[in-house]
Chains A and B, each alone.
Chain A
Amino acid sequence: MAERLPYREGEWIDRTQPVTFHFEGVAYEGFHGDSLSSALWGAGLRVLGRSFKYHRPRGLYSLAGHDVNLLVEDGERTNLRGDFLPIADGLDVRAVNTAGGLKRDRLQMIDRFGSLMPVGFYYKAFHTPRSLFPFYENQMRKIAGLGKINPHALRRPSPKDYAFCDLLVTGAGPSGLAAAIAAAEAGLRVVLAEEQPQPGGSLRTQHARTPQAAEQLQELIRRASELENLELRCCTQVAGYYSDHWAALVDERRLTKLRTRAAVFASGCIEQPAVFQNNDLPGVMLGSAAQRLIYLYRVAPCQRAVILTATAEGYRLALDFAEAGIPVVALVDLRHDGESSECGRLVEAADIEIFRGHTVLEAQPGPSGHSVRGVILCPLDEDGHPDAIGHLKLDCDGVIMSVGWAPNVDVAYQAGVRFTYSDQVGQLVPKECPPGVFLAGRAAGVFDLEDQIASGRRAGLQAAALLDSYDGAIAPAPIHRGPPPSHAFPIFPHKGKKNFVDLDEDLHLVDFKNAHHEGFDNIELIKRYTTVGMGPTQGKLANTNAIRILARLNGKTIDETGTTVSRPFHHPVSLEKLAGRRFHPQRRTPLHALHQSLDAEMIHAGAWLRAEYYRDGSSSRADCILHEARQVRHSVGLIDVSTLGKLQISGPDAARFLETIYTGNFSNQPIGRLQYALGCDELGVIIEDGVVARVGEENFYVTATSSGVTAFYRDLQRWALLLRMRVELINATGHLAAVNLAGPQARKVLTKLTDLSLAPEDFRYLDVHRGCVAGLDALVMRIGFVGELGFEIHVPTSGAQHLWRTLMEAGAAQGIRPFGVEAQRLLRLEKGHLIVGQDTDALTHPYEVGLDWAVKEDKPYFVGARSLQILRKQPQERTLVGLVLSQDHGVEECHLIVEGERMLGRITSVAHRTTLGMPIALAFVHPDRAREGTELQICGTGGELISARVVPLPFYDPDGLRQKLKD
């Protein structure tokens, strides 16, 4: 292991805990507390990854996850970020996106052809001939890409978490800590989210040498830890911000959906690179990355540094190097007049050579481009352009850039903050904040340590005041004084083409010029065309320079140029965390356990679980279903219909209300009688059907479709309001259970169990009676959905199991059998009864499906009446018919009825095996083809044509004698 710098208070590594891990198959050592990036750099490795497009060697750059040079995979997880990945014994990772390993990546030759791949290359080159595009795409995806997903990786459940607080503070640097403490002391419940493993932010890096910084940090951390209403969450990223203060927090384990009442963004700044030739070589890095290496991990960034700067920060950085004992070969200052403050003098006193009014024109690569061996400096003219003469060569192995910042405010932008460019700070500063959103510290353009703390405290108190927890004074907002901490245009063209603006996407300066030349002169357009900012970091190091370049090309200001829209997520979030755990609420009828004990196959029907059919020894599914259906036709069967919608509608206007929402007449419906009811929407489209039972003068009991009742009930509630009717609605679907006892023997079975007279003259077809069944208070309706004598018995759910068992015992002599949904569907199909939603679609009106009789047009008003008036006049385009199929296989629901190339209709329901002995179907066809006896062709599963003949409906018992059975 290479030497670390000597111990310094505040370092994150624990030197008593060495850790051995593997990278690219090689064992390395680091310390507990190291990230993968710091450990590898500390071990002397320089090439950490390969770039996205050109496979150029890349090294440590931001050490803050703002670049993706070190992305690794461990066989299970992929695209892990080295900057945030803690090392641990046994960690074994490889770089993503290489062919044959990092060192000898076979794809590095692409770099040499880079100039043949100008911006938009992919769009332009690979679309002709069109037939080859899939091939191109496939090859392209292999070359340009990130990690590979292992589809066999272990699935780790990552349930989502929900949390609540008064104030979310993003960033636990000096301003974030101050904000959180001030707000928590005022009584707010505060969550303080920090992406690094420890709080401190710039106090640990930029301000590390500031006298008292360490004490200040300890003090802030102590006060924060003493507040019970302040929760510090480290290794946590605030990845997105949504309506009404709803934030997505992502940590190693899970996604937390946090509802807060206010937010402070103390998210700091992202250091921005300078653009010069080979500014991506391993060894070229940001000043803040160097400070993190020095102060957090005690790793020397390089052995001989050249620092490129344009602000006081670069001078302080030089002093950081000096204190760490790392030689600074030169400090290159873009400004002609250099640094006049104290740190300027200190740097001079430290004997560091300063080149004022110079830039680094080029970093010179070592062997294979795996390192830096020197730089070429050049003087700048008055306008900041590199001069052609006066170039100077220096040897070094590190180029440290400290030319400016961009506020880390993408998430604040999502929260609704709008920004404007400030020349005074040289960055975007908040212009408008929505209620409850505050910015503090460097994110708000405040760089002085005392100011950072003051602005944090102010934001915390502002939040507390907004939430009525603080009514004291609030100090005015600190403002930045002195020269701007960012250079306005640290971008230097070079005749070479490796001056990178976007390291994620391998975009260089000339790409922007070309895109602009081609007419992409708007920031959103140039983003899409060049793909700047569309890589995994979302342009954290690229967007600022891209805007500067475009502004200059257009001759406009930064504000005029604008920014691209920031959308969640600010950081990549693995799909595993988004998927979370599945949650499908499921309803079970009160008879569910009985179905299971009867070996029922259960199916999902909307939100319900229903018995599809009951298994019977080794019989096939189709045999079981047919057998159940035959039992109903010949003897008696029992089905659980508890899923039916059950509505109680009562009040003085109940009958009038029903007449409004349904197409039928109900005022004259006698008490004790049932009536079929059809409901349409305002367009005349069928949305519901059911049975209306009049159980009293002002009381109706209505059944509705299992899947439609929730929406229908909701509609009814609104109609009752709109029409101002005196009517009370109760959705009793879950309160009551229902079974249907059907078959010629049904009366015989039920008679034994009830005090109701079931004599045909007392209990007629379509009668409803309340009485006692199996000792239970029951509502009994005589209806015939399946086309046989049938009694539908509604009881409280508590009695459902008792009712079922009693009926099964009573019917034993008749050979009673339970039947499932499939048998019921078959039986109703034979009877020609349609199912709303299966045999009707979003356009079906009553005249298309033979329900003219159910529409009472003479009523003054009902929902859909006006539309139906119009539809009735129009020529019909289709009609529902019955078909007898020529074969008992190959036809499925939704298959088309065709004539040559023409589509004549489609199948809506089909049954291959029926109690009638022939395969039948319902289908929509053009009215021309609806005549009895018409031969039609159905396009079957394999494309073969299957013939069918139109027959009158219903298929079974056209005179309805069975359901009216008297004996």
Chain B
Amino acid sequence: MKIIHCPVNGPRPLQEFYFGGQFRAVPTSEQEDAMTDAEWSDYAFNRDGSPGIQKEWWYHTPSGTWFIAERDIVTDVFVRTYLFDQADQESGNDG
């Protein structure tokens, strides 16, 4: 079983975590309005699954901690994990 490093609780077994999907910036209300129906459908239904390092949401269930993990989806290696607020400071809210 994998070990995931929760930024708050340290290394914990995978069982304690919930996968929250790819990390994506949420469009603002204005951005949503500016999107065509087709563009919105693309946002709503499609995810980028190309190989490489992916930013993902993970949730440590016992402590209720959401955080961001950068994971190589080819090798399944967690490159690093950090809280959402740190994400902004460190790498920009790029989704």
Q: Is the CB of B1 within 8 A of A860?
A: no
Q: Mark A228-246, 1 if CB is under 8 A from B, else 0.
A: 0000000000000011101
Provide the bound-state CA to CA distance between A709 and B84, in Å: 23
Please give 14 more A-B residue pairs, beta carbons under 8 A apart, in addition to A243-B1, A717-B64: A242-B1, A244-B3, A246-B2, A683-B45, A714-B61, A717-B59, A717-B66, A721-B66, A721-B84, A721-B85, A861-B29, A865-B32, A866-B40, A867-B44
Q: With a CB–CB cut-off of 8 A, which chain A residues contact B35?
A: 866
Q: Mark B1-27, 1 if CB is under 8 A from A, else 0.
A: 111000000000010001010000010
Q: Is the CB of B76 within 8 A of A243?
A: yes
Q: With a CB–CB cut-off of 8 A, which chain B residues contact A860?
A: 29
Closest to B31 in A: A866
Provide the bound-state CA to CA distance between A541 and B45, in Å: 50
Q: Mark B64-91, 1 if CB is under 8 A from A, else 0.
A: 1010000000001000000011000000
Q: Is the CB of B26 within 8 A of A722?
A: yes
Q: Categorize the interface residue count of chain B.
A: 20 to 34
Is there a chain B Cβ closer than 8 Å to A723's Cβ?
Answer: yes
CB distance from B5 to the nearest CB of A (A): 11
Q: A243-B2, A244-B1, A866-B35 are in contact. Are A718 and B57 (CB under 8 A)?
A: yes
Jot down 6 A-B pairs with beta carbons below 8 A, ordered by A. Answer: A246-B1, A683-B45, A714-B18, A717-B59, A718-B59, A866-B35
Q: Is the CB of A870 within 8 A of B37?
A: yes
Q: With a CB–CB cut-off of 8 A, which chain A residues contact B44?
A: 682-683, 866-867
Q: With a CB–CB cut-off of 8 A, which chain A residues contact B64?
A: 713-714, 717, 731
Provide the bound-state CA to CA distance between A147 and B54, in Å: 47
Closest to B67 in A: A721
The list of the 3 closest CB pairs from A to B, nearest first, reads A861-B29, A243-B2, A244-B3
Q: Mark A675-688, 1 if CB is under 8 A from B, else 0.
A: 00000001100000
Provide the bound-state CA to CA distance between A721 and B57, in Å: 12
Q: With a CB–CB cut-off of 8 A, which chain A residues contact B84?
A: 721-722
CB distance from B71 to the nearest CB of A (A): 12
Q: Is the CB of A714 within 8 A of B59?
A: yes
Provide the bound-state CA to CA distance between A870 and B28, in Å: 17
Q: Mark A686-720, 1 if CB is under 8 A from B, else 0.
A: 00000000000000000000000000011001100
Provide the bound-state CA to CA distance between A242 and B59, in Å: 22
Provide the bound-state CA to CA distance between A865 and B57, in Å: 23
Provide the bound-state CA to CA distance between A866 and B33, in Å: 7
Q: With a CB–CB cut-off of 8 A, which chain B residues contact A714?
A: 18, 59, 61, 64
CB distance from A245 to the nearest CB of B (A): 9
Provide the bound-state CA to CA distance between A246 and B2, in Å: 8
Q: With a CB–CB cut-off of 8 A, which chain B residues contact A861?
A: 28-29, 32
Q: With a CB–CB cut-off of 8 A, which chain B residues contact A866?
A: 32-33, 35, 40, 44
Provide the bound-state CA to CA distance between A861 and B33, in Å: 10
Total A-B contacts with CB atoms under 8 angstroms apart: 49
Provide the bound-state CA to CA distance between A861 and B28, in Å: 8
CB distance from A206 to the nearest CB of B (A): 37
Closest to B83 in A: A721
- Residues of A participating in the B interface, judged by any CB pair closer than 8 Å: 242-244, 246, 257, 682-683, 713-714, 717-718, 721-723, 731, 860-861, 865-867, 870
Provide the bound-state CA to CA distance between A315 and B8, in Å: 63
Q: Is the CB of B40 within 8 A of A867?
A: yes
Provide the bound-state CA to CA distance between A721 and B65, in Å: 11
Q: With a CB–CB cut-off of 8 A, which chain B residues contact A722?
A: 26, 84
Which of A246, A723, A870 has a CB less than 8 Å from the CB of B26?
A723
Which of B2, B14, B37, B66 has a CB less than 8 Å from the CB of A718?
B66
Q: Is the CB of B20 within 8 A of A718?
A: yes
Provide the bound-state CA to CA distance between A243 and B40, in Å: 38
Provide the bound-state CA to CA distance between A723 and B28, in Å: 9
Provide the bound-state CA to CA distance between A243 and B78, in Å: 12
Closest to A684 in B: B44
CB distance from A810 to the nearest CB of B (A): 39
CB distance from A261 to the nearest CB of B (A): 10
CB distance from A734 to the nearest CB of B (A): 13
Provide the bound-state CA to CA distance between A242 and B32, in Å: 43
Q: With a CB–CB cut-off of 8 A, which chain A residues contact B85?
A: 721
CB distance from A750 to the nearest CB of B (A): 35
CB distance from B2 to the nearest CB of A (A): 4
Provide the bound-state CA to CA distance between A713 and B2, in Å: 25
Q: With a CB–CB cut-off of 8 A, which chain B residues contact A717?
A: 59, 64, 66
Closest to B28 in A: A861
Closest to A867 in B: B44
Provide the bound-state CA to CA distance between A54 and B3, in Å: 47
Provide the bound-state CA to CA distance between A713 and B40, in Å: 26
Q: With a CB–CB cut-off of 8 A, which chain A residues contact B59?
A: 714, 717-718
Provide the bound-state CA to CA distance between A380 and B93, in Å: 72
CB distance from B39 to the nearest CB of A (A): 10
CB distance from A660 to the nearest CB of B (A): 10
Provide the bound-state CA to CA distance between A84 and B42, in Å: 59
Q: Is the CB of B40 within 8 A of A870?
A: yes
Provide the bound-state CA to CA distance between A723 and B35, in Å: 19
Closest to B68 in A: A721
CB distance from A871 to the nearest CB of B (A): 10
Closest to A244 in B: B3
Q: With a CB–CB cut-off of 8 A, which chain B residues contact A242?
A: 1
Q: With a CB–CB cut-off of 8 A, which chain B residues contact A721?
A: 66, 84-85
CB distance from A166 to the nearest CB of B (A): 15
Provide the bound-state CA to CA distance between A866 and B35, in Å: 9
Provide the bound-state CA to CA distance between A861 and B32, in Å: 9
Closest to A711 in B: B18
Q: With a CB–CB cut-off of 8 A, which chain A residues contact B76?
A: 243
CB distance from B48 to the nearest CB of A (A): 16
CB distance from A164 to the nearest CB of B (A): 11
CB distance from A165 to the nearest CB of B (A): 15
CB distance from B78 to the nearest CB of A (A): 10
Closest to A729 in B: B64
Name which of A244, A257, A717, A865 has the most chain B CB atoms within 10 A of its CB: A244
Q: With a CB–CB cut-off of 8 A, which chain A residues contact B29?
A: 860-861
Q: With a CB–CB cut-off of 8 A, which chain B residues contact A257?
A: 1
CB distance from B57 to the nearest CB of A (A): 7
Q: With a CB–CB cut-off of 8 A, which chain A residues contact B57?
A: 718
Provide the bound-state CA to CA distance between A867 and B35, in Å: 11
Provide the bound-state CA to CA distance between A311 and B50, in Å: 51
Provide the bound-state CA to CA distance between A246 and B1, in Å: 6
Provide the bound-state CA to CA distance between A713 and B76, in Å: 28
Provide the bound-state CA to CA distance between A242 and B76, in Å: 12
Provide the bound-state CA to CA distance between A683 and B1, in Å: 33
Q: With a CB–CB cut-off of 8 A, which chain B residues contact A731?
A: 64
Closest to A246 in B: B1
CB distance from A753 to the nearest CB of B (A): 36
Provide the bound-state CA to CA distance between A713 and B61, in Å: 11
CB distance from A893 to the nearest CB of B (A): 29
Provide the bound-state CA to CA distance between A357 and B55, in Å: 63
Q: With a CB–CB cut-off of 8 A, which chain B residues contact A683?
A: 44-45
Provide the bound-state CA to CA distance between A725 and B28, in Å: 14
Provide the bound-state CA to CA distance between A243 and B3, in Å: 8
Provide the bound-state CA to CA distance between A243 and B33, in Å: 44
Q: With a CB–CB cut-off of 8 A, which chain A residues contact B66?
A: 717-718, 721
Provide the bound-state CA to CA distance between A722 and B32, in Å: 16
Closest to B3 in A: A244
Q: With a CB–CB cut-off of 8 A, which chain A residues contact B18?
A: 714
Closest to B61 in A: A714
Q: With a CB–CB cut-off of 8 A, which chain A residues contact B1?
A: 242-244, 246, 257
Closest to B25 in A: A722
Provide the bound-state CA to CA distance between A244 and B1, in Å: 7
Provide the bound-state CA to CA distance between A242 and B26, in Å: 36
Closest to A245 in B: B3
Closest to A863 in B: B26
Q: With a CB–CB cut-off of 8 A, which chain A residues contact B45?
A: 683
Provide the bound-state CA to CA distance between A723 and B26, in Å: 8
Provide the bound-state CA to CA distance between A244 and B41, in Å: 38
Name which of B2, B44, B84 has the most chain A CB atoms within 10 A of its CB: B44
Closest to A257 in B: B1
Provide the bound-state CA to CA distance between A682 and B45, in Å: 10
Q: With a CB–CB cut-off of 8 A, which chain A residues contact B33?
A: 866
